[in-house]
Structure 1
Amino acid sequence: MSERRTVRIDVGGMTCANCAATIEDAVADLDGVGEISANYATDEATVEYDPERVSLAEVFEAVESAGYDPIAETATVGITGMTCANCSATIEDAVGDLPGVVRVDANYATDEATVRYAPSATTREDVYDAIEAAGYEPIREDGAGGADGTDDGDGQSAADAARDAELARQRRLTLFGAALSAPLLAMLAFELFAPGTLPEEIPGTGLHIGWVAFALATPVQVLLGREFYENSYTALVVNRRANMDVLIALGSTTAYGYSVIALLGVLPQAGLYFDTAALILVFITLGNYLEARSKSQAGEAIRSLLELEADTATLVEDDGTEREVPIDEVAVGDRLKVRPGERVPTDGVVREGESAVDESMVTGESVPVGKGPGDEVIGSTVNENGVLVIEATKVGEETAIQQIVERVKEAQSRQPDIQRVADRISAYFVPAVIVNALLWGTVWFFAPETLAGVVSALPLWGLAAGGPAAVGVTEFAVLVFASAVLIACPCALGLATPAATMVGTSIGAQHGVLFEGGDVLERVRDTDAVVFDKTGTLTRGEMTLTDAVPVSPAADGAVSAAEEEEADRGDEADEGGDATESLLAAAATAENGSEHPIAEAVVAGARERGVEPGDLDVLQNVSGKGIRARTEHGTVVVGKPALLREEDVDPEPAMETMRELESAGKTAMLVAVDGELLGVLAVADEVRESAVAAVEALRERGIAVHMITGDNERTARAVAERVGIDPERVRAGVLPEDKADAVESIQADGSRAMMVGDGVNDAPALASAFVGVAIGSGTDVAIEAADVTLMRSDPADVVKAINVSEGTLAKVKQNLFWALGYNTAMIPLASLGLLQPVLAAAAMAFSSVSVLANSMAFRSYDPDERYRLLGRFR
């Protein structure tokens, strides 16, 4: 039976004792939870649980699903010393055993671990200590090297400084080993191509020439081999897990130790392999250097984003004077001047001036965007021509550029499900390789003639240096063991997925597509249905008042907009004008208290027509139907016919006009005051130019395209027809609380739906979908609930996201194919004695570098290219 744990969790959102009881009930339902006590007075919960049956992550999810906020912090810690996927697993186990750790993802490709933990139970220092206890070096936040981008004083983060220092160390070791191995390689060449050229003894000493090789190889064995021995000890003794270092230490020590024994005369006539031992370590160290260099290049996209940030800003004081200040001194509310050619220092709103701003580095939009008073600007973008005065709205870590970097880092720490297969293979890989090497070394020792008779028929037998007959049975068995150990490479397998994911998420960020994680990146490719919200997604979400049609008291119907314009200028026209003015005044006064796009359009449209809103006393939103308001005009109701019927107002006199407006793709609403129907208002929302191309591209892929909207059936169908969505896949009149149900009904037949939306009312639907996509102009709530964020607010970027996903997963599969194919082909060759240890070590180093090189080649991928060639996008 496993040891039970007790953890204390701070919980936000509790307002009464009933909240505590709700949390207790939600957590107690989990299998494996013993005692649970939630305290409203202290805003905390104490949970006793069995970690073998329930994880702390599941406890947190239960608290969140109950509607409360378990307090957790997330730390990204840079780590040095990881050499393979097994190292990542070791770190995850070590940190995961800490009380209060909710989730830990260690990424061998980025040399980082992302840890989510309850600060009431675990501290960042505890995380550092656990990593150190596992035998690795965390990059601390202090002067010794801080993670999370802490600046070390010269503009370089501590994590980057540690990465550069490691790169320099690997380079020094490689050069040192190469310098001492070069003479050994020359001696080997003489022995192979000019036998007898080298003397058997060192002149004047009487010592065997092999002592020269010993003198050259021993420093290499000590200095280059040291970290492999230390890491092997930690892996086997401390963590009880074999990793790649164990294989390298076994292979090089076998060659070196056998040579020392032979040199001392214990094995007469045995060959010396000091050159092999040294070259093994040099090749592996060279591979580590190239690997570290490739990792650094893979993270270049993120570092280049951070380098775009401005260092200073021009602060405009209240008296109009200007002064230059460091960017970290800018506060929310400060006014900043941005001259042509300068970078916008921080996120803000334009207060004065007009200009075009190049936002390509953040959103991927290649065309500069016009900005004027009231428009939002993004920090790090470039002001093209005019002078702007902006008011800072977000600074420091809250800016868009910092949020993008954090989003991409988090995405890189969460790997696709396909990585789990590689991790499972890696967990058993090293022990299996050692067993295989021992098996074949033993077989070659006890049955050399039988095995040689079979293997000698193979075309590669020449690589076996003549087989056991030429070098001796014992020596050949040792060579087979060393080769079989060295040829296996779990590094390539461990790098295959994270390296490609790291590049893929960076490509997405460069093109304005932010993925929540590598697992999301994988799911995007698998979607077979895309569900668009209408307003603000397929359309611009910028409503304009187009029609104000009062009900004619004389005729049992409504006066159309055209009839109103063509009316005579007599008393009848005056009465019509008065009726329109009354209609607009009542509606604008009621809507003036709402921030809904339709409400803003009504108020703005009334003002354009010379009608100012009056005084508003009380406003009530009726979800999905409209509003009720108490105003100086009386009790005003604006909304759908159903809402008016609830107020005992007959909507029939205006229904024909309403149908005509909706058939034209407009959103129509009725207005009544004190139980009397006044007329119909209509607003229109322009369809985004790229929506048609996006829908067409998705349909060409065989993806079913749906639309969900709270708007009426006729307007919804008009918009759907314009963008190319089949009428049977349109759901209209869907209330906000029902959107999630609508998405689930689409997925009921097994479809994997991607929901694309922008509003607060889309958040539940985004969370219910197989993949939730929020467009960047949407609300923070929608973006938080989404798996993917489109920075450009462009529905065409849905296709771009799918392209990035497909490209990344294709690269992952290529990497896995080469990594697994390499081992499948090479391990048998080494086991059959067809590969020398030096060649095995070189091939092992090359395999990891080739996987990284394949991933780096992916950096040139352009997810827009396919459609640009077709002339669809830009």
Structure 2
Amino acid sequence: MTTTASAPAPADLGEIELAVSGMTCAACASRVERQLGKLDGVHATVNLATERATVHLSAPVPLESLVAQVEKAGYGAAPVVAEQDRPDHADRVRDLWRRLMVALLLGIPVADLSITVVLVPALRFPGWQWVLLAMTLPVVTWCAWPFHRKAVAAARHGSSSMDTLVSLGVVTSAGWSFYTVFHDDADGLADAGWHLIFEPAGSVYLDVAVGVTVFVLAGRLFEARARRAAGDALRALARVGAKQATRLRADGTEEAVPADAVRVGDRLVVRPGETIAADGVVRDGSSAVDTAAMTGESVPATVEAGDAVTGGTVAVAGRLVVEAVRVGAATQLAQLIRLVERAQTDKARVQRLADRISAVFVPVVIGLAVLTGLGWGWAGAGPHRAISVGLAVLIIACPCALGLATPTALLAASGRGAQLGIFIKGLQVLEPARAIDTVVLDKTGTVTNGRMTVAEWWAADSADSDRVLGAAGAVENATGHLIGRAVAAYALRELGELPRVEEFGALPGLGARGRVDGRAVLIGSPRLMDRSGVPVPAQCPVAGTRWADRGGTTVLVAVDGVVCAALLLTDTVRSSAAGAVRALREMGLRTILLTGDNPASAGAVAAEIGVDETIAQVLPADKAAVVARLRGEGHVVAMVGDGINDAPALAGADLGMAVVTGTDVAIGAADVILVRDDLDVVPLAVALARRTLRTIRVNLAWAFGYNLLALPIAAAGLLNPLISSAAMALSSLLVVSNSLRLRGFGEPRDRPAAR
């Protein structure tokens, strides 16, 4: 894989997730990462948006030491003990709302009165200074307390954060204003008041103190609501899982048990309207199963005995008996939730640069604000003017937008992707998505439904057809391959039972061999027979063109070195395949159908779906070689597959996308997992990746550009501190609101279109 990612220490001993509280900016996240990294054998990645720290361990480190290390940095930490243990920011939203309301109710009169009494001395009344003090103190103390607390905590540990800038701005402007109000004479205030009309700032900055508090609280409230809204999809996914299950005892009686008490091998009764509590296989009954919560697919799928079902889906009609295969944290639902959370913790290269900048940005800005004030004073400006300009620099430089640019976009995109059935493993996989020009599609199980059926069976006149069919079914039953399952199911349906196979051996891409009833059985493609030196009799249908023209897959059966039977298997193309290929081509992407089947079968499918190119009769190792060749020619390749034989190609592509109905090996090798049983999700996944990366780039461009442009303007004395605080809050609001636009991705107007 050529995608770029951070280089964590080897996670030989696994990893631990910590919930970190108290972070407010990118500098906070960087500080926690550095503090945890001081421990030997620890490499940590901290995400501001999810408030999670993923700690990779290459040496034994007690959990208590990790928590203590985070607390040394001035933040709270606790192990994540459950998948549902994720912040929803509800308490934080309520707290910020209360503080903002108080700040508004008191701050507006404070700003009005502080300006009025300065501009119009005649309106002053006895004790007006104390009225101002009484209304201002709650705003700059209780309302702004979250900023002061974080600033003091950071200072105790010899560091700083965005809250340091906010706290210093509020305290400095309020303190200087109180000094001016209580110590300047009336004439001095009046002069300063008229000075306000002609200059960006005057001597009384109570409006600045309350304004900064109001604007920053409003920005934080919006951010908290945005984080909560962006995480709604993930929390909803976590709630999909069943809380209760009905277990079927060996004597046929039923018992209600908590879902976390279900064990592998348990048989569960699922009635209409109930949620399936574990991944499993239907052993009895049939039902339509609503998979919308997992895949976004609105049409329920019909399942019956032998079909696999996924935990978190709902039986719509009909009673099922499901044998649990994967439970708890091993279920597909739990794994996908962890996958999304891990993606939200990931960082792009440009965001890691932003983190490093934010870590040193605050002390640099404080120094710049001091130097700016001193410079203005040295140039002959009065103390009021020098302090005003210094405050403007201090306030406008908060790097909040810089820290929110990437995590809010990924939080919104991964949550929306989960709703659409698209699970992104990490942010680094998005970076090549913009440059993809070629999409390689596996045929069987990806473009087709993957449910092969035996369309025709031929046996030589001299053969015992039932015995040959039984031998073929026994060998293929051991393969687990789609074709093998189809042959085994056909043989079992015709004969009722299958004999035992010995000395089984899989021949990837060709077939399989084994010994049944003491006779050597070789079953597979005509190419396997050719390689094995087994001649095909002239009367076999495969020797002519009749079967080849039908576009199916031919399987030959040889017993003791003689081909004595053949089967024609067919697979139907997914109804969504042609539309998906058309959408990919409209996006400017080259499409290639890659398969191990014969050219006739591959050509028939290719003609039906409209791909640009077909590569047939490809062995598993050759699939990876095809991808490598395409990349060697300068193409950026996305591979879509589902089987074990697709895993090398998925891993070797720039972007690997695995259909979740495929094997665990394929899913493990892919970068993006497609849950919906609908190929339309392929172009949608590419479009989401591109849209997310574009959103992140816009966010970062704005955040960097804002700071680079605003600082010189503020240092030049062209910005009032109040305007600076509004601009700083507006910058964060723009970044967050731009990210939240991803929550509406997938609507008809956002469907994939040409570049």
Q: TM-score, normalised by structure 1?
A: 0.78
Do the aligned partners of 1:85 and 1:426 also contact (CA within 8 Å) in 2?
yes
- Which among 89, 92, 117 is matched to residue 57 of structure 2? 117
Gaps of 5+ in 1: 1-54, 61-69, 142-146, 152-156, 203-208, 449-467, 552-574
Shift of 1:197: 0.9
Structure-2 separation of matches of 1:635 and 1:349 = 32
For the residue of structure 2 that corresponds to 1:695, the secondary structure is helix
Amino acid at match of 1:493: L
Mean Cα deviation higher: 487-496 or 630-639? 630-639
Mean Cα deviation higher: 782-791 or 627-636? 627-636
Q: Tell me: CA distance 1:707–1:343, structure 2 relative to 1, closer, same or farther (3 Å).
A: same
Residue in 2 aligned with 1:247? 165
Do the aligned partners of 2:279 and 2:308 also contact (CA within 8 Å) in 1?
yes
Q: Deviations over 1:389-420 (max 9, x none)?
A: 32333322222322222111111111233323
Residue in 2 aligned with 1:569? none
Residue in 1 aligned with 2:74? 135
Mapped pair 1:96 → 2:37: yes
Mean Cα deviation higher: 333-342 or 702-711? 333-342
Residue in 1 aligned with 2:512? 627
Residue in 1 aligned with 2:604? 718
- Which among 124, 129, 132 is matched to residue 213 of structure 1? 132
The percent identity for this pair of structures is 38
Residue in 2 aligned with 1:52? none
Residue in 2 aligned with 1:694? 580
Residue in 1 aligned with 2:123? 197
Q: Tell me: CA distance 1:98–1:631, structure 2 relative to 1, closer, same or farther (3 Å).
A: same
Q: Deviations over 1:552-606 (max 9, x none)?
A: xxxxxxxxxxxxxxxxxxxxxxx48x57556535533443443222222223334
Q: Tell me: CA distance 1:579–1:495, structure 2 relative to 1, closer, same or farther (3 Å).
A: same
Structure-2 separation of matches of 1:330 and 1:760 = 29
The number of residue pairs the alignment matches comes to 734
- Which among 559, 562, 566 is matched to residue 676 of structure 1? 562
Mapped pair 1:105 → 2:23: no
Please identify runs of 4+ aligned residues in structure 1 that moved more than 6 A: none
Amino acid at match of 1:688: R
Structure-1 separation of matches of 2:621 and 2:498 = 31
Amino acid at match of 2:722: V
- In the TM superposition, 1:491-530 aligns within 5 A as 491-530=400-439
- In the TM superposition, 1:330-369 aligns within 5 A as 330-369=262-301
Structure-2 separation of matches of 1:658 and 1:536 = 27
Mapped pair 1:85 → 2:26: yes
- In the TM superposition, 1:565-644 aligns within 5 A as 575=461, 584-609=469-494, 613-632=498-517, 634-644=519-529
Structure-2 separation of matches of 1:550 and 1:198 = 110
Residue in 1 aligned with 2:343? 411
For the residue of structure 1 that corresponds to 2:567, the secondary structure is strand
Structure-2 separation of matches of 1:281 and 1:686 = 63
Do the aligned partners of 1:134 and 1:239 also contact (CA within 8 Å) in 2?
no
Q: Deviations over 1:100-130 (max 9, x none)?
A: 224x221122222222224x42233222112
Q: Tell me: CA distance 1:266–1:864, structure 2 relative to 1, closer, same or farther (3 Å).
A: closer
Q: Tell me: CA distance 1:176–1:612, structure 2 relative to 1, closer, same or farther (3 Å).
A: closer
For the residue of structure 2 that corresponds to 1:476, the secondary structure is helix
For the residue of structure 1 that corresponds to 2:547, the secondary structure is helix
Mean Cα deviation higher: 394-403 or 816-825? 816-825
Shift of 1:228: 3.3
Amino acid at match of 1:363: T
Shift of 1:550: 4.4
Do the aligned partners of 2:21 and 2:76 also contact (CA within 8 Å) in 1?
yes
Q: Tell me: CA distance 1:236–1:652, structure 2 relative to 1, closer, same or farther (3 Å).
A: farther
Do the aligned partners of 2:276 and 2:314 also contact (CA within 8 Å) in 1?
yes
Amino acid at match of 2:725: A
Shift of 1:612: 6.0
Structure-2 separation of matches of 1:592 and 1:310 = 33
Structure-1 separation of matches of 2:252 and 2:307 = 22
Mapped pair 1:297 → 2:219: no
Q: Tell me: CA distance 1:150–1:651, structure 2 relative to 1, closer, same or farther (3 Å).
A: closer
Gaps of 5+ in 2: 1-5, 190-202
Structure-1 separation of matches of 2:741 and 2:587 = 26
Shift of 1:783: 0.7
For the residue of structure 2 that corresponds to 1:857, the secondary structure is helix
Q: Tell me: CA distance 1:447–1:823, structure 2 relative to 1, closer, same or farther (3 Å).
A: same
- Which among 447, 459, 463 is matched to residue 538 of structure 1? 447
Do the aligned partners of 2:542 and 2:554 also contact (CA within 8 Å) in 1?
no
Q: Deviations over 1:281-300 (max 9, x none)?
A: 34323332332222122211
Structure-1 separation of matches of 2:375 and 2:244 = 70
Structure-2 separation of matches of 1:149 and 1:586 = 49
Residue in 2 aligned with 1:481? 390
Do the aligned partners of 1:252 and 1:482 also contact (CA within 8 Å) in 2?
no
Amino acid at match of 1:107: N
Q: Deviations over 1:84-112 (max 9, x none)?
A: 1111111111112222224x221122222
Shift of 1:194: 4.9
Shift of 1:491: 0.6
Structure-2 separation of matches of 1:183 and 1:496 = 35
Q: Tell me: CA distance 1:672–1:486, structure 2 relative to 1, closer, same or farther (3 Å).
A: same
Q: Tell me: CA distance 1:287–1:325, structure 2 relative to 1, closer, same or farther (3 Å).
A: same
Shift of 1:523: 2.9
Q: Tell me: CA distance 1:855–1:648, structure 2 relative to 1, closer, same or farther (3 Å).
A: closer
Mapped pair 1:730 → 2:614: yes
**Cα RMSD for the two superposed structures:** 3.1
Structure-2 separation of matches of 1:682 and 1:257 = 88
Structure-1 separation of matches of 2:745 and 2:527 = 52
For the residue of structure 1 that corresponds to 2:457, the secondary structure is strand
Q: Tell me: CA distance 1:305–1:599, structure 2 relative to 1, closer, same or farther (3 Å).
A: closer
For the residue of structure 2 that corresponds to 1:83, the secondary structure is coil
Q: Tell me: CA distance 1:59–1:354, structure 2 relative to 1, closer, same or farther (3 Å).
A: closer
Structure-2 separation of matches of 1:763 and 1:501 = 26
Do the aligned partners of 1:633 and 1:673 also contact (CA within 8 Å) in 2?
no
Q: Tell me: CA distance 1:605–1:865, structure 2 relative to 1, closer, same or farther (3 Å).
A: farther
Residue in 2 aligned with 1:28? none
- In the TM superposition, 1:167-182 aligns within 5 A as 167-182=93-108
For the residue of structure 2 that corresponds to 1:57, the secondary structure is coil
Amino acid at match of 1:813: R
Residue in 2 aligned with 1:259? 177
Amino acid at match of 2:176: Y
Structure-1 separation of matches of 2:140 and 2:589 = 58
Shift of 1:659: 5.2
Q: Tell me: CA distance 1:677–1:316, structure 2 relative to 1, closer, same or farther (3 Å).
A: closer
Mapped pair 1:748 → 2:632: yes
Q: Tell me: CA distance 1:644–1:813, structure 2 relative to 1, closer, same or farther (3 Å).
A: closer
Residue in 2 aligned with 1:703? 589
Mapped pair 1:773 → 2:713: no
Residue in 2 aligned with 1:666? 552
- Report which of the two structures shows the higher radius of gyration computed on alpha carbons: 1
Structure-1 separation of matches of 2:281 and 2:475 = 28
Structure-2 separation of matches of 1:821 and 1:196 = 45
Shift of 1:778: 0.6
For the residue of structure 1 that corresponds to 2:49, the secondary structure is coil
Structure-1 separation of matches of 2:250 and 2:500 = 34
Mapped pair 1:188 → 2:114: yes
- Which among 378, 382, 395 is matched to residue 314 of structure 2? 382
Q: Tell me: CA distance 1:542–1:489, structure 2 relative to 1, closer, same or farther (3 Å).
A: same
Residue in 1 aligned with 2:188? 269
Amino acid at match of 2:97: R
